[in-house]
Amino acid sequence: VNARRARRAHRRTPNRGHRIVEAAIAILDAEGEGALTFRALASHLATGSGAIYWHVTSKDDLLAASAEAVISAVLAAVDGSADPKKAIRAIALGVFDAIDAHPWVGTQLSREPWQTAVVQMFEGMGGKLQALGVPRRARFYAASTLVSYVLGLAGQYAAAARMLPQPDRAAFLGTVADRWVALAPEKYPFLHEMSAQLRDHDDRKQFLAGVDLILAGIASL
Amino acid sequence: VNARRARRAHRRTPNRGHRIVEAAIAILDAEGEGALTFRALASHLATGSGAIYWHVTSKDDLLAASAEAVISAVLAAVDGSADPKKAIRAIALGVFDAIDAHPWVGTQLSREPWQTAVVQMFEGMGGKLQALGVPRRARFYAASTLVSYVLGLAGQYAAAARMLPQPDRAAFLGTVADRWVALAPEKYPFLHEMSAQLRDHDDRKQFLAGVDLILAGIASL
DNA sequence: ACCTGAACACCGTTCAAGT
DNA sequence: ACCTGAACACCGTTCAAGT
């Protein structure tokens, strides 16, 4: 019932629904996930809080629509005609940068992986596998590995951003690295060895290195 | 202040804190993430809801402790002396099975990736890379790729379980596959091609295939 | 058709008061 | 030292009443 209501209204007044999503994105970007409230949204739009339910089924629906708006724009901007490896990298990097700019998108993508935004990623990356020479049987697994990896790192950046309103990410990484060093070296030799790299690694490079690692694995099929 | 309180109490009455985590796990397993409430937990333990705060700092703290309890047990059971590839597969599969049995753990791991449970995964899998002949410089990226992939798939299974109280996962996958087939074939050729495999794929096999794909990429370094 | 805003049924967290 | 449970400050969502 609610779904039909919302759909019908969405057809008649697409602007209103669009403006609601826009306002939600503005709040999420400016004040974080915790600040998105139907009351805050209503006062931002100068209406009653109940009015929003005419255009949107629920808060989950609103979050999904907001994330989809961000990701669709990113995927539409990727040049599909490029070399397949480059195209896969471009999609992955586009999603990464979008999540860097809007960390709440990361939370949302990993919360509802069957939503349109994720499905579009699956199609975008998976569609390039045939041109890479990946056998038919292996394409499903290869595409799902790529998507899972992107979603996994997306969630991690979102989590870091959630607890860091200010962008002092370097300081935070230093704190975590200190904690690694404080652990017993004989129980955690790898963490000790890696603490320096955690401290001054480059997020974007690390992300791309993972994509390339998976692509190298795919090439071996 | 709260942290010191909780820590001091934890030292004096470790049983109480342990029993709280046990009760939380029981509720999460039996009734899902939405059912874990301080009121529900209190009535389950036959105390006041405020009493729990003497042993636990916050709900986030309680969830982290619960996830850590599950994952630590899994990692402790893995045979570290095995062949390095086998050990990495065993850790990944152990975490996968734990999340399959306790879907809320998946949500929790991707929500707070610096927590002890994730750090232990990083050490466990990363510590095997040297024996695999991975160059020192590449180990950080390789380990983070493995962990991100596991967390990514963990989040997806948790999401699916969150909306499916009953285990009719097969029916759900069928619904999603139907939606893929209903999309425009010329815009989504890959989804059309993969819909049959989505319908009857094996979750565990898919997960392991991704791990092996990343291991193959690692081997090429 | 769409908006208003009070009301409902919850939350996590705190805290004076107890033992 | 630890527990009790009412109270506080919120939520998402609903719905009678308006225009």
Query: Is the model's pLDDT at B7 over the cut of 90?
Result: no
Strand D bases near protein CB (under 7 Å) are: 1-7, 10-16
Query: Is the model's pLDDT at A4 over the cut of 70?
Result: no
Tokens (6 digits) for A50: 């109940």
Residue of A nearest to B148 (CA): A152
With CB atoms and an 8 Å threshold, state whether A213 touches B210: no
* pLDDT for residue A13: 55
Q: Which of A110, A111, A127 sits opposite B190 (nearest CB)?
A: A127
Mean pLDDT, residues A193-217: 96
- CA separation for the pair A73, B52 (Å, rounded): 46
**Chain B interface test: which of A105, A140, A206 (most B C-beta within 10 Å):** A140
* pLDDT for residue B4: 41
Contacts of B3 by beta carbon, 8 Å cutoff, 6+ apart: B57
Contacts of B49 by beta carbon, 8 Å cutoff, 6+ apart: B38, B39, B41, B42
**Chain B interface test: which of A134, A147, A156, A195 (most B C-beta within 10 Å):** A156
**Reported confidence tier of residue B162, pLDDT bands at 50, 70, 90:** confident
Mean pLDDT, residues A185-201: 95
Mean pLDDT, residues A25-53: 96
Query: Is the model's pLDDT at B160 over the cut of 60?
Result: yes
* pLDDT for residue B90: 96
Q: How far is CA B207 from the centre of its chain?
A: 13
Whether any strand D atom is under 7 angstroms from the Cβ of B16: the reply reads yes
Whether any strand D atom is under 7 angstroms from the Cβ of B43: the reply reads no
- CA separation for the pair B185, B68 (Å, rounded): 44
End-to-end CA distance of chain B: 49
Query: Is the model's pLDDT at B9 over the cut of 90?
Result: no
**Reported confidence tier of residue A10, pLDDT bands at 50, 70, 90:** very low
Residues with CB under 7 A from strand C: A 8-9, 12-13, 16, 46-51, 53-55; B 2, 36-40, 49-50, 53, 58-60
Instruction: Quote the pTM value.
Output: 0.92
**Reported confidence tier of residue B51, pLDDT bands at 50, 70, 90:** very high
**Reported confidence tier of residue B123, pLDDT bands at 50, 70, 90:** very high
Mean pLDDT, residues A165-177: 81
Mean pLDDT, residues A149-175: 85
Query: Is the model's pLDDT at A181 over the cut of 60?
Result: yes
Query: Is the model's pLDDT at A11 over the cut of 50?
Result: no
Residue of B nearest to A215 (CA): B217
With CB atoms and an 8 Å threshold, state whether A141 touches B210: yes
Residues belonging to chain A = 221
